Amino acid sequence: MELFKVDTIEDSIKKIYDKCINDNFNLELEEISIEDSLGRILAKDVVAGEGFPTFDRSVVDGYAVISNDVSGATETMPIFLNKIYEVKMGENVSLELKSGECCYVPTGGMIPKNADTVVMIEHTEILSDKKIAIYKNSQSGKNILKKYSDINVNQVVIKKSEIINEYHIGLLSVLGITKVFVYKKLNVSIISTGDELVPYETQNILDGKIRDSNSNMLKSGCIKYGFNVVEKIHINDDYDLLNEAVKSAKEKSNIVLLSGGSSKGKKDFTKNVIENNSKDGILIHGIAIKPGKPTIAAYDNFSKTILIGLPGHSQAAYLIFKLLVLALYEKLSGANFNKYKICMGKLTENIPSSQGRKTIQLVSVSDDFYVTPIYGKSGSTNDLANADGYIVIELNNEGLNKNDIVKVYYL
């Protein structure tokens, strides 16, 4: 039996990353409409071509005035001004305010020249068509959003590597930026292996068989994180068939995920097939992580394809997808998929030490942030569906104690 030489997960990511970088496995760029950009990863800084706002805007409904004119206004001693105009929404105002004059401006409306403040309508009174009482002073600049004061020309408004959200799309719209450069979706092939697997649609399964669930889970995960799943197939434990499948998958994929068959069992063709399909051989064979130890990784210089042999057990397979494949994609793209999926919580019980392996412990999180480890039955298939997240117990941690504050990554 071959001895497992195991890397840490960090070293594993770095090994594959370095190989990718050395071989110019570059994420490609594409320019897309901002309306299609939700969830995509920005590939270039977005620079404002113009500032915002493009004119001095009122931020309230009120009367644009010259601040000096109203400096003495109070509830008991109002100042009376001549109303010379009512600005309409969207109107390009060319008039110039003179001392003693005021002009109605709605929220978002343009401020006339010479006016330097806006008195809110609540502090005014209409005495006649032409005469307005001002009951409160207003400092210069108040209630006005000055031209370019919110966003300056050439300001970087969204940084490269941000995952584009609806707020970004709003901001881009304001600035008239209709297209952005994002990273092209990576093509992923998912190949599940094993004689024991039958298609998940199979209704009456024979004893000994099990439905293929990993490939559907991985496919959904790939879609969720912005990969393009080009293929999802099942191959029996047959070297030639698997070899052909991987060869063909490499042609159309940036990443080939093999699920199952990477443990030490007898019918494990996966390692040999991966080896045969990567010019420089296996990069990773075994990772010091629990679950997920029997993970294989290689890189094929010819097709520029990353080959990953995931563990067969669903929980391990998906966690390695997240902690290795997704982490690698984050390193390549600069994106941070976990940024808004982390919370701190308090452990409800002790967790023993991880004994030389980084341990990924599934947990549930209560509404008041109490964190409880979920110890499923070995081989259980629904632990992931029942968990809220996971905590990471580092390699040399002596164990965690009840009431420790821990960082939870939501699943």
Of residues 143-202, those binding its own copies (CB under 8 A): 143, 145, 149-151, 157-158, 165-176, 178, 194-197, 200-202
Residue of 243, 276, 364, 381 interacting with its own copies (CB under 8 A): 381
Contacts (CB under 8 A) with its own copies, residues 37-66: 38-39, 52-55, 57, 59, 61
- Using CA atoms, how far residue 116 sits from 90, 111, 132, 222, in Å, is 19, 8, 17, 54
b/e 51-72 (16+ beta carbons within 10 angstroms → b): bbbeebbbbbbbbbbbbebbee
Burial class (CB in 10 A: 0-12, 13-18, 19+), 299: buried
The answer to whether residue 312 forms part of the interface with its own copies (CB under 8 A) is yes
Residue 142 Cβ, how far from its own copies at the closest point, in Å?
10
DSSP at 352: -
Question: Could you give phi then psi for residue 328, rounded to 5 degrees?
Answer: -65, -45
Residue 348 half-sphere exposure toward CB, CA atoms < 13 A: 11
Residue 88 Cβ, how far from its own copies at the closest point, in Å?
7
Contacts (CB under 8 A) with its own copies, residues 99-128: 106-110, 121
Nearer to its own copies, 350 or 382 (CB): 382
Residue of 90, 128, 129, 240 interacting with its own copies (CB under 8 A): 90
How far does Cα 89 stand from its chain's mean position?
A: 37
Integer Cα distance of 159 and 157 in angstroms: 7
Contacts (CB under 8 A) with its own copies, residues 5-34: 34
Contacts with its own copies: how many residues (CB under 8 A)? 101
Nearer to its own copies, 10 or 195 (CB): 195
Integer Cα distance of 190 and 193 in angstroms: 10
Nearer to its own copies, 114 or 381 (CB): 381
Residue 18 Cβ, how far from its own copies at the closest point, in Å?
26
Nearer to its own copies, 8 or 141 (CB): 141
* Binding letters toward its own copies, positions 334-363, x by CB under 8 A: -----xxxxxxx------------------
Residue of 385, 399, 402, 403 interacting with its own copies (CB under 8 A): 385
Residue 73, beta-bridge partner list: none
Integer Cα distance of 215 and 231 in angstroms: 10
Contacts (CB under 8 A) with its own copies, residues 208-237: 208-214, 216-221, 223-224, 237
Residue of 92, 128, 240, 398 interacting with its own copies (CB under 8 A): 92
Residue 265 Cβ, how far from its own copies at the closest point, in Å?
5
The answer to whether residue 375 forms part of the interface with its own copies (CB under 8 A) is no
Nearer to its own copies, 151 or 395 (CB): 151
The answer to whether residue 302 forms part of the interface with its own copies (CB under 8 A) is no
Integer Cα distance of 348 and 335 in angstroms: 32
Integer Cα distance of 319 and 289 in angstroms: 10
For residue 383, which amino acid is it? D
Residue 118, beta-bridge partner list: 64
Nearer to its own copies, 127 or 385 (CB): 385
Token representation of residue 390:
């996971």
Residue of 75, 129, 378, 398 interacting with its own copies (CB under 8 A): 378
Q: What is the three-class DSSP state of 317?
A: helix
DSSP at 322: I
Q: Mark out the alpha helices in 130-209 (DSSP H runs).
A: 166-174
Residue 296 Cβ, how far from its own copies at the closest point, in Å?
16
The answer to whether residue 129 forms part of the interface with its own copies (CB under 8 A) is no
